[in-house]
Amino acid sequence: MTQYERRNLSGCRLGVFGKGGSGKSTAVVLLARALVRRGYDVSILDADSTNVGLHRALGITGAPVSLLDFYGGMVFSGGPVTCPVDDPSFLQGGEVGLQDLPPEYYAETSEGIRLLTAGKIGDMAPGAGCDGPISKIARDFVLRTGSVNEVMLVDFKAGFEDSARGALTNLDWAIQILDPNAASVSMTIHMDQLVRRTIAGLPPATEHLDDPVLIDLATEIFKHARVKGVLVLLNRVNDIGAEQLLRTRLEKAGIEPVGVIRDNPSIPMAWLLGERLTALGAMREAAVALDRIEAVVAKMMDKPLSSPVS
């Protein structure tokens, strides 16, 4: 297979979720590197409105200008970008070709990974504290690079809020990061149930909407959600016993993890110092997890597993 042939994750939007402290953004960096080495054209959308430093972990000196500025700002500050809960309508111009995006709105690593930032709540004036419009960008923004193997990783903020805002509807897969913590296990099981309900066509809550047109639109968006399932990645696991306990608890919920990334003290140190992540063992473990992810997707698509890029 050459780099010009479609691979199993080509064209996918993969959302990365997890509780605070689970290592979600670390997993985004590791998976992005594994993907680009596998022959994918990789873009990361940083949609975590509160966390900072992802660009440094990728080895990028300065973060790009936020897409919230590109789209004219949030409605709470007088701009056009609305919250998907109050206004489920689609982001105007949400699909953008790379050639049409000014260079200040993205940055690239030495490996060719592209980083975009939806927006950061800390950059906004007091009174603009709702980050719902950032969730709309996370839900609707699609970057077209012209590559047959383009993939986008969306790094969501911790918790369920973006999922409740409908962000899942425009993802192909949700990747849930699970660290050795009871709360993380509970969140993972709830995320799996939420995605299953979305796939089954369970309509969203619309009691707060007065406009019948918006109610119908919200219902249609959920009805045609593209998400296909949850892929669980164990992270920050420090021993075999902890891993086995996590696997046992997940098995009872019908969930099988796609991989495990071991606890590595160099990773939190890199975040603390604002340096590029260079944990080779973790990168190898992320590559193994990607093997499993591609296998799961290939099985669902009923097609052969992609071979290594030649």
Which pLDDT value is given to residue 22? Answer: 95
Average of per-residue pLDDT across 200-208: 90
For 44-75, give the secondary structure using H, E and C: EEEECCCCCCHHHHCCCCCCCCCHHHHCCCEH
- The tokens describing 254, both together, are 């019908």
Which of the residue ranges 81-85, 88-92, 299-303 would you say has the lowest mean pLDDT?
Answer: 299-303
Q: Is the pTM of this model over 0.75?
A: yes
Give 164 or 253, the one with higher predicted confidence.
Answer: 253
Q: Write down the mean pLDDT value for the chain.
A: 92
pLDDT at 16 over 60: yes
Domain with residue 64: its CATH number is 3.40.50.300
Domain presence at residue 8 = no
Domain presence at residue 2 = no
Which pLDDT value is given to residue 7? Answer: 87
Largest CA distance in the chain: 55
- The tokens describing 184, both together, are 């993380």
- Overall number of domains in the chain: 1
Domain presence at residue 94 = yes
Which pLDDT value is given to residue 309? Answer: 44
Question: Which residues share a beta bridge with 62?
Answer: none
Band of residue 303 on the pLDDT scale cut at 50, 70, 90: low
Which pLDDT value is given to residue 129? Answer: 58
Q: Which domain, by its residues, includes 126?
A: 13-301
pLDDT tens-digit readout, 116-141: 999 998 665 444 558 999 999 999 99
Average of per-residue pLDDT across 77-99: 96
Domain presence at residue 306 = no
Distance separating alpha carbons of residues 105 and 265, to the nearest angstrom:
32
